[in-house]
């Protein structure tokens, strides 16, 4: 029973690390797109969203990126905790 639980916790930790890696890559991609769109300021993008100023778009995008970053940090804390817990379970099992 303890060995099965250890494998499941370890599997959850590994899946969490992969999810964290993908989320960090996505955050990097979003930040690069934000910088490119902010420097180019294409008219089609503003027309797509309606009568919104670029200052408002920048504000919303920065808040969205900040919230995503906070979620990634919380996920990182959970994954580190899972990893340490799996290590402790492995020590107890052997």
Of residues 31, 9, 13, the one with CA closest to residue 75 = 13
Which is nearest to 17 in space by CA: 72, 94, 87, 88? Answer: 72
pTM as predicted: 0.86
SS3 content of the chain, % helix, strand, coil (to 5): 90, 0, 10
Provide the pLDDT confidence category of residue 1 given band limits of 50, 70 and 90.
low
Query: From its phi and psi, is residue 66 left (phi > 0), alpha (psi between -120 and 50) or beta?
Result: alpha
27 close to 69: Cβ distance less than 8 angstroms: yes
Q: What are the pLDDT digits (tens) for 58-72?
A: 999 999 999 999 999
């Amino acid at each position: 029973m303890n060995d099965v639980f250890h494998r499941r916790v370890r599997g959850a930790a590994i899946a969490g690390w992969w999810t964290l890696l993908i989320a960090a890559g996505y955050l990097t991609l979003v930040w690069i797109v934000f910088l490119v769109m902010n420097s180019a300021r294409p008219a089609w993008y503003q027309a797509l969203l309606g009568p919104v100023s670029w200052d408002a778009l920048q504000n919303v995008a920065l808040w969205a990126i900040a919230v995503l970053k906070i979620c990634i940090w919380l996920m990182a804390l959970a994954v580190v905790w899972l990893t340490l817990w799996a290590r402790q379970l492995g020590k107890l099992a052997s």
